[in-house]
Amino acid sequence: MAENQLGGQQVLFLPEGATRVLGRDVQRTNIAVAVAVANAVKTTLGPKGMDKMMVSDLGDIVITNDGATILSEMNVEHPVAKIMVDIAKTQEKEVGDGTTTVVIMAGELLKGAGELLEQGIHPTTIIRGLKTAADRASKILDEKSIKIDIDDDKTLQKIALVSMGSKNIGDDAAKTHLSNLIIKAVKQVMVKDPSGKLVVDHDFIKLEKKTGGSVSDTELINGVLVDKEVAHPGMPKNITNAKIALLDVALEIEKTETDARIEITSPDQMQAFIQQEETILKERVEKIRKSGANVVFTQKGIDDVALHFMAKAGILAARRIKKSDMEKLSRATGGKIVTSLDDLGSNDLGFAGMVEEKKIAGESMIFVEKCKDPKSVTIFIRGGTQQVIDEVERSTDDVIGAVSGTIEEGRYVIGGGAIEIELAKGLREFASEVGGKEQLAIQKFADALEVVPKTLAESAGMDTVDTLVQLRSKHNAKDGANYGVEIFRNTVADMGKLGVFEPKKVKQQEIYSASEAAQIILRIDDMISSRAKSGGAGAPPGGGMPGGEME
């Protein structure tokens, strides 16, 4: 029960069992939780990062090193931990990659801010310094980034390989194969907006997966893979030069919305009633046939009688297609989704070079491929086990984000921790110009950026202090701006020559997201929980993370 004193009288304003944490106590708690979350994913960073096995209450297993997936599967309770999960989700949604980095950077920023708070520096001064540092880091990032030509597939492939470098999804050949498919898919669906800027809508790169084969058997379908089977055994199983009708119409006699009663008193009337239904369905199928369509996809149902007539007419049909798949089919084939058969004409039909039903892993699926310049494509993922294809799917999603982010922004940076060291160097120089207590927060921001090369070195078994000293020395030299952590030879090396590139867009989002999350958490000076049970939102350190351990 929260209380206050007014003229010596006790004033109660919260229910019995409510908890309240104030001032430095809540700041220490929040920072401890944020650092614990960051430490939970820290070891997954980089090509030598480790995986986490997440086991749900039901016994479902997820093996991954994707930051956003790990955090969402952890089912954290403390509100600050939820903020850390949210920044990983935002990073995933906005740019598709960099989820682990943004979380460990936010944790490091708060760790540094905690040290400043202990020195008596006010939170608003620290917040102002962090905001100034983020803006400055963004400007330095602009200066250090490199322009890319969208036809430069070699550089795009290097960016893709760095993005999937930490994922355990097969050998180098499989990763190269996968990166090539993703680059082709992104380029296929990209369009120019009215201002002339290239835009990639990730929704139109469909990821479909089935166990069986290996990761190298993953293929790009220039069209859409529909996880349905042909609706009638008498229908053709494959059609070349398909003319496709996309319908949002039920090819069945639907029940009336209001209650209705039909009185039938003789077998002849019953026969006439059935005949009338058949006639209506036959007319609907005839309208489809007259339009020239030989393939039909509909969001609604198809009556068995209508299926019979369509099979006789040689039309391949599939029913109850998801709305999202219908939109993808429209983008891929050029067909229009029709809501009335009276409006269906040859101009509304889409085209595909081949529509074919295939059996994959014992399940029938319809491949709509060989479309003319499709603006929706499918990456069909294969792998030996469910865990493998799930991780390939997550990795593919990350790489799509990295490649499309590079194309949209038109710029990339040197990876392997090189850009972070450059940003830290620039911020330290800037801090001395700023002066005042804010410069201390800017220096802490510089320290937080260096957590990336430190973590890369740590995961490779290198001495982090020696590595950081060497990198700072190289970056202070004339031609050392591209030096980063070469984890495969346990040394520092020129990452530009090694082709370790990352999208500028991902780095920029990391800087702003981590900075904003730290600012939000630092602003909190009072945490009130109305929940009576222990271990709730206002619980002290240890109550908000699974396992209760604070690192």
CATH number at residue 260: 3.50.7.10
Please confirm, yes or no, whether 99 is among the known catalytic residues. yes
Where does the pLDDT of residue 435 fall: very low under 50, low under 70, confident under 90, or very high at 90 and above? confident
Q: Do 260 and 339 have their domain in common?
A: yes
Tell me if 53 is assigned to some domain. yes
Give residue 385's domain range. 149-219+381-409
Please confirm, yes or no, whether 152 is among the known catalytic residues. no
Strand ranges, E, within 443-525: 483-486, 491-494, 501-503
CATH number at residue 487: 1.10.560.10
Q: Total domain count for the chain? A: 3
Please confirm, yes or no, whether 66 is among the known catalytic residues. yes
Where does the pLDDT of residue 245 fall: very low under 50, low under 70, confident under 90, or very high at 90 and above? very high
Q: Do 197 and 81 have their domain in common?
A: no
Q: Do 28 and 90 have their domain in common?
A: yes
pLDDT score for 195: 85
CB-based burial, 211-237: b 16+ in 10 Å, e otherwise: bebebbebebbbbbbbebebbbeebee
Terminal Cα-to-Cα distance of the chain (whole angstroms): 30
Mean pLDDT to the nearest integer, 415-422 = 93
Domain boundary residue, one of 389, 409, 429:
409
Q: Do 47 and 126 have their domain in common?
A: yes
pLDDT score for 548: 40
Q: For 518-540, what is each residue's pLDDT tens digit?
A: 999 999 888 877 765 444 444 44
Q: Looking at the predicted structure, is the pLDDT value of residue 546 above 70?
A: no
Tell me if 102 is assigned to some domain. yes
* Range of lowest pLDDT (142-146, 289-293, 341-345, 374-378): 341-345
Q: Do 247 and 336 have their domain in common?
A: yes
The active-site residue, picked from 19, 43, 64, 66, is 66
Q: Do 69 and 82 have their domain in common?
A: yes
Q: For 275-326, what is each residue's pLDDT tens digit?
A: 777 888 888 899 999 999 999 999 999 989 899 999 999 999 999 999 999 9
What is the Cα–Cα distance from 473 to 201, expressed in whole angstroms?
42
* Range of lowest pLDDT (75-79, 186-190, 421-425, 442-446): 75-79
pLDDT score for 289: 92
What is the Cα–Cα distance from 482 to 92, expressed in whole angstroms?
27
Q: Do 89 and 124 have their domain in common?
A: yes
Domain boundary residue, one of 373, 390, 425:
373
Tell me if 395 is assigned to some domain. yes
Q: Do 440 and 340 have their domain in common?
A: no
What is the Cα–Cα distance from 218 to 213, expressed in whole angstroms?
9
Q: Do 234 and 213 have their domain in common?
A: no
The active-site residue, picked from 43, 44, 99, 467, is 99
Domain boundary residue, one of 347, 373, 399:
373
Q: Do 493 and 477 have their domain in common?
A: yes
Tell me if 437 is assigned to some domain. yes
Please confirm, yes or no, whether 398 is among the known catalytic residues. yes
Tell me if 199 is assigned to some domain. yes
Mean pLDDT to the nearest integer, 38-42 = 91
Tell me if 545 is assigned to some domain. no
Tell me if 436 is assigned to some domain. yes
- What are 228's two structure tokens? 């349905």
The active-site residue, picked from 100, 298, 455, 467, is 100
CATH number at residue 214: 3.30.260.10
Beta bridge partners of 357: 366
Residue carrying structure tokens 């980089």: 46
Percent share of the chain, pLDDT over 70: 89
Tell me if 534 is assigned to some domain. no
Q: Do 450 and 431 have their domain in common?
A: yes
What is the Cα–Cα distance from 60 to 540, expressed in whole angstroms?
30
Q: Looking at the predicted structure, is the pLDDT value of residue 133 above 50?
A: yes
The CA distances from residue 476 to 421, 452, 470, 499, 542, in Å, are 10, 18, 10, 22, 42
Q: Do 449 and 481 have their domain in common?
A: yes
Q: Looking at the predicted structure, is the pLDDT value of residue 215 above 80?
A: yes
Mean pLDDT to the nearest integer, 220-247 = 94
Q: Looking at the predicted structure, is the pLDDT value of residue 386 above 70?
A: yes
The active-site residue, picked from 325, 390, 398, 494, is 398
